[in-house]
Amino acid sequence: MDYFKKLIFFTLIVIGISAQAQFIDDEEPEYAQDSVPSLRDKLFFGGNFGLMFGTFTYVNLSPTVGYRIKPNLSAGVGILYEYWQDNTTGRSFSTQIYGGKVFTQAILIDFLILYGEANMISLEKKYFDFQHNYPESGRFTLVEPWLGGGFYSKMGNGGVYFMMLFNLNHSSNSPYAPYEYRIGFNF
């Protein structure tokens, strides 16, 4: 746990320093002065990627595409894919979680971000329906809204973020914790 606290502290310091190192320019972005920005100027790409191998294997591929509605307000969509294989409990299992998401984010001031996301994920009943809400075998769909915020450092047309999100619909059927830390990039 001590290592985790040091990692969070170091990440916050690095993001804070990079936010302090940026120049504050009172001028509007170049595209806002004389012309309407192109679609290419308003689109950004990002997402999450994770790998862990061993007695518990985890693979996460979650690309996103977003649209800058205003310089500090964006919305977008993404796809979610996770593969889990667990050999730690004495009862080995593997499963796939997949679905989609919509999100919106607002940069409140130079380095603070507010973020909301709604995920719709497909889960295998035999591994995740602990409340027995779904009588049929196979898969079921779970909607999970996430809300939170964090720090954002702009870099060129993209940036790097560190956020803490809270699952507003957490239940025993959810494969995720009631909160989640995210570090990621947009480009």
Shortest CA distance to 67 belongs to which of 96, 39, 88? 39
Shortest CA distance to 97 belongs to which of 119, 75, 130? 119
- Residue 166 domain-assigned (yes or no): yes
pLDDT at position 34 is: 57
- Residue 21 domain-assigned (yes or no): no
- Residue 12 domain-assigned (yes or no): no
- Residue 23 domain-assigned (yes or no): no
Q: Which domain holds residue 163?
A: 48-186
pLDDT at position 43 is: 93
Per-residue pLDDT tens over the stretch 9-55 = 444 433 443 333 333 333 444 444 557 888 888 999 988 888 999 88
- Residue 41 domain-assigned (yes or no): no
- Residue 37 domain-assigned (yes or no): no
**6 phi, psi to nearest 5 deg:** -65, -40
Quote the mean pLDDT of the chain.
Answer: 81
- Residue 118 domain-assigned (yes or no): yes
Provide the CATH number for the domain around residue 56. 2.40.160
pLDDT at position 123 is: 94
Per-residue pLDDT tens over the stretch 144-156 = 999 999 998 888 7
Residue 63, Cα to own-chain centre: how many angstroms? 9
Domain count, the chain: 1
- Residue 149 domain-assigned (yes or no): yes
pTM for the predicted model, two decimal places: 0.74
